[in-house]
Structures are given as structure tokens and as C-alpha cells.
Amino acid sequence: MATSTRDSPSCSPLLGLRRGEALGLRWEDVDLVEGIIFVRQTLQRLGGQLVFGPVKSDESERIIALPVPCLTALRQHRVAQDAERKIAGKDWKDSGLIFTTGIGTPIEPRNLNRHFGRLLDRAGLRRIRSHDLRHSCATLLYEQGVPIEKIQDILGHSSPTITKLIYVEVTRQSQRSSVDKLGFLFDA
């Protein structure tokens, strides 16, 4: 996880973060000892300028536990960013952000989209929006048996209904295992 746009915020899909939430994360928002992040702000382009602003709703301001691989990646990323800071020298712009360009400035959200598209192309995958990774996160958590209320908390939704209706794609396998439970009615 290097700091430049060539390596995108790779833990954000795992955590279901919105693009602006990931790009707005600061080192002060991460507790590398406790293994948690505080989602407190976003980075967006408004009126032709990159601006920091509040998260989407009160429920969107949240604390998320970091899986061990993300915690490890963030620790490695911090070391890599420190190395980039030294290389950049006086050209480094200290924004305090976790994900920056090679000189410490915020990453342009559209550049992240372009980079994500190139990664999909290189992997031979169909094009999707980076926001679709939130859907994947919700679906994967749901498929692992995580209660919808916990998924709601992770995604920062105001109600479990929103999470269920919009973000959780029930797979055929999940549907099959559910209806197979009715099989006892037909056993001879």
C-alpha cells in the first residue's frame, strides 16, 4: 500500500468505506494499537476544489474494527509513506492523510476511479464502480452470517432496511441453502 495513486486504499473495500471516507482518513483517525479506525470526514471535489467535509449522516460517523490483514497493511503503509516523505524532502506537503500522492497531497477522487478501472482491466475483470465494492462488502459479510445490524454499523447506514434492500445481494447459493431447509417437508 504505497501512498501514491498507483496503489489505491486497499482496505477500504474490505471495510465498506465510501470513496470519500477512505480518501479523507487521517493518521489521527487510526489506532494501530487497538486496531480501529474512526470515520469522521470525507474528501470530495466540490465547486472545482478538493474539500474536506462531514460524513454523509450522523450514522456515517463511526468506529470500525480493523481485520488483522488491514492493520498489518496500514502499518506497512505508514513505513512506506515515511520513506516517500524523506524522498520528497521539502516538496512533501504534510496533509496528515493516510492515502496521498507521492508528495503528500490528497488523492483526486477521479484519479482513484481511473486507477481502479486500470486495475480491473489488468486483472481481466469487467468494469464496475468503486462504490460497488460497498455492495460486495455487505454481501460477503451477510454470506458469512454477520447480522444485518452489524453490517449496517460497518457501512454507516441509518437503518438495517437500507442495508438489506440496497446493499446486500442475496446470492443463489444463499437462497438455495435457505429453501433446502424446507426439504424435510417432502422426505418420504
109-128 pLDDT, tens digit each: 999 999 999 999 999 999 99
Taking the C-alpha atoms of residue 78 and residue 73, their distance in angstroms, rounded to an integer, is: 9
Going by C-alpha positions, the residue among 24, 21, 87 that lies closest to residue 57 is: 21
19-63 pLDDT, tens digit each: 999 999 999 999 999 999 999 999 999 999 999 999 887 778 899
Pairing verdict, β 36-39 and 30-31: antiparallel
Taking the C-alpha atoms of residue 83 and residue 117, their distance in angstroms, rounded to an integer, is: 27
Q: What confidence score (pLDDT) does residue 81 get?
A: 96
Contact 84, 2 (CB under 8 A): yes
Averaged pLDDT for residues 124-149: 89
Whether the predicted pLDDT of 178 surpasses 80 = no
The DSSP element (H or E) to which 9 belongs, if any, is: none
The DSSP element (H or E) to which 119 belongs, if any, is: helix 109-123
Taking the C-alpha atoms of residue 48 and residue 33, their distance in angstroms, rounded to an integer, is: 38
Averaged pLDDT for residues 117-142: 91
